[in-house]
């Protein structure tokens, strides 16, 4: 069972480079009581890619979640600034 919800949606845009990317993550329980970290990324407005990680313990999923969050923030990804619906809506 997941103790608390973990969800993230960030974007990185740079009109001078024609860059408009999104990155989304969430941790959810599986039917077997394990933790599942789902990652989605791609160009804003496109379907993008998806990768799913399965963990026996929630702590392992949270560790990867926080590590990926730090990496994305260091690369310039930030929360969405206006109320446009993203790919997870």
Structure confidence by residue, pLDDT tens digits, 56-86 = 999 999 999 999 999 999 999 999 866 555 5
Confidence of residue 89 (pLDDT cuts 50, 70, 90): very low
Is 86 inside a domain boundary? no
What pTM was estimated for this model as a whole? 0.83
pLDDT of residue 1: 63
Which CATH number characterizes residue 67's domain? Answer: 2.20.140.10
Complete edge-to-edge strand list for the sheet that includes strand 35-43 = 49-55, 35-43, 19-29, 6-14, 78-79
Q: What is the pLDDT of residues 13-49, one digit of tens each?
A: 999 999 999 999 999 999 988 999 999 999 999 989 9
Instruction: Give the total number of structural domains in the chain.
Output: 1
Residue 89 located in a structural domain = no
pLDDT band at 3 (very low <50, low <70, confident <90, very high): confident
Task: Note down the domain range covering 66.
Answer: 6-78
C-alpha 21/C-alpha 42 separation (Å) is: 6
């Amino acid at each position: 069972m997941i103790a608390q919800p973990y969800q993230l949606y960030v974007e990185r845009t740079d009109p001078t480079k024609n860059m408009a990317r999104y990155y989304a993550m969430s941790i959810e329980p599986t039917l077997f009581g394990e933790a599942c970290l789902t990652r989605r990324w791609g160009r804003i407005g496109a379907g993008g890619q998806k990768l799913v990680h399965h963990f026996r313990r929630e702590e392992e999923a949270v560790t990867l979640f926080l590590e990926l969050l730090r990496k994305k923030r260091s690369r310039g990804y930030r929360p969405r600034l206006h109320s446009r619906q993203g790919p997870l809506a």
